[in-house]
Amino acid sequence: MTLLLAVTCAVAVGNIYFPQAIIPLVAAGLHASPDSASLAVTATQAGYTAGMFLLVPLGDRLPYRSFLVALLALTGLGLLAAGCAPTLPLLIAASALIGLTTVAAQVVGPLAAGLVAADRRGAVIGGMLSGSIGGMLLARTFSGTLGEWLGWRVPYLAAAALALLLAGVLARTVPVAPPTSRQRYPALLTESLRLLHTEPDLRRSCLYQATVFAGFSAVWTCLALLLTGPVYGMGAEAVGLLALVGGATMLCAPLAGRLVDRHGPEPVNLVCMLGVLVSAAVLAAGAWGGIPGLTALVVGTLLLDVAMQSGMVANQARVYALRSDARSRLNTGYMTCAYLGGSAGSWLGVRAYGQAGWWGVCTLVALLTVLALVRHIVALCSRRPGATGSQSRVAVENQPIRPH
């Protein structure tokens, strides 16, 4: 079941990223400019953000199995419509539907966390994250290769067939678990905001992920400017090859999950924040250029990827332990803050690069991480001997959901 749910995460997340690799093919096939064709990617991402806020909270209100199957079926239909779209406006509309419904990975996380006991939750979250990372990394290669061979429509049609097949498999295999809430839909939406106000550990996890993810986004946004600029003079494909280094996080995320199960999220967060600080120092050497600079970029991005994703495992384990009846709503608040942090990081990174070059970007990463690190140290120092309030709740709410 863990493997099947991890594959579900990979397929869902891959649907967000695979169109990026075929935008030139879409532009040529529909006789549009690349800028216009890129609106299909923008629509997918905008739909995904809306889906996180509008649909993910329903995971607490609807039976998981039927909700997941419905999401994947709608995603498959959207992909089918995109693959058959005769014009760019219709492709953009279908892309928005794809993004809105391909939030299965954000529904699978709370489901998987509820199916296991608390002492295995971290490992399972790490497995789901590995699936998401794999989908993100492989989707571009899959669509780019298939699109070059058979045209831009084929990746959409292949993804549609995969989503519909997976919907059929999940309809027969996911255990039936009762909904954890009977609140009406408007109350579910406002509950995510209320939880941010009432749960200090949720706010703390959001701050950690938003700041670290902001630094992560700043690095990857500006990396293309550095590699294609005068220091290295490489092509855009160099960024894609460097991104494959992040595949190591597929192996590290489950390991981080087991460490969280054994030692708790607090020490794992601390090590990850220190790792991000070290990565910022290593990445700064990338400004030198040449083989030493390129080596620093490879090592630094690998360390940054591992630290960021491992920290995410720790944060989600802390968040899911807060309230077993509201995991989808908790995840909505958490992921929304994380993505807002990533968007802000991209914006700040470009401006830091324009003002101070690559050194400015690395300094931005360090400053953002120090902000999270100071907050974490304050939290560790304020902990009293014995269980904290949130830990006491974990003892009561750490039982897995019992499927019928």
Model pLDDT for residues 322-377, shown as the tens digit of each residue = 887 778 788 888 888 887 888 788 788 888 988 999 999 999 999 999 999 999 99
Identify the structural domains of the chain with CATH numbers, from first to last. 2-179 (1.20.1250.20), 192-397 (1.20.1250.20)
Q: Return the pLDDT at 399.
A: 45
- State how far the alpha carbon of 393 is from the alpha carbons of 206, 319, 367, in Å: 19, 12, 33
Q: Which two structure tokens, joined as six digits, stand for 381?
A: 């120092």
Q: Return the pLDDT at 143.
A: 77
Closest CA to 319 of 335, 343, 340, 339: 335
pTM equals 0.73
Closest CA to 402 of 54, 23, 64, 151: 64
283 pLDDT tier (thresholds 50, 70, 90): very high
Q: Return the pLDDT at 385.
A: 55
17 pLDDT tier (thresholds 50, 70, 90): confident
pLDDT in tens, 198-225: 999 999 999 999 999 899 888 887 887 7
Question: What is the four-CA torsion angle of 248, 17, 236, 232, rounded to 10 degrees?
Answer: -40
235 pLDDT tier (thresholds 50, 70, 90): low
Residue 70 has pLDDT above 90, yes or no: yes
Question: What is the four-CA torsion angle of 132, 136, 142, 143, rounded to 10 degrees?
Answer: 120
Average pLDDT over residues 78-97: 93
pLDDT in tens, 4-13: 888 888 888 8
Residue 73 identity: A
Q: Return the pLDDT at 203.
A: 93
Q: Return the pLDDT at 238.
A: 65
Residue 140 · residue 39 · CB < 8 Å: no
Average pLDDT over residues 245-274: 85
State the chain's mean pLDDT as an integer.
83
Residue 183 has pLDDT above 70, yes or no: yes
Q: Helix axis angle, 200-228 relative to 185-198, nearest 10°?
A: 90
Residue 389 has pLDDT above 70, yes or no: no
What's 400's DSSP letter? P
72 pLDDT tier (thresholds 50, 70, 90): very high
CA 233/CA 235 separation, integer angstroms? 7
CA 259/CA 266 separation, integer angstroms? 11
Instruction: Tell me which of 117 and 374 has the higher pLDDT.
Output: 374
Closest CA to 133 of 254, 40, 270: 254
pLDDT in tens, 134-152: 787 777 677 777 887 888 8
Q: Return the pLDDT at 393.
A: 44
Instruction: Tell me which of 297 and 192 has the higher pLDDT.
Output: 297
387 pLDDT tier (thresholds 50, 70, 90): very low
Residue 285 has pLDDT above 70, yes or no: yes
Average pLDDT over residues 269-277: 95
**DSSP H/E element including 83:** helix 64-83
CA 246/CA 279 separation, integer angstroms? 13
Residue 47 has pLDDT above 90, yes or no: no
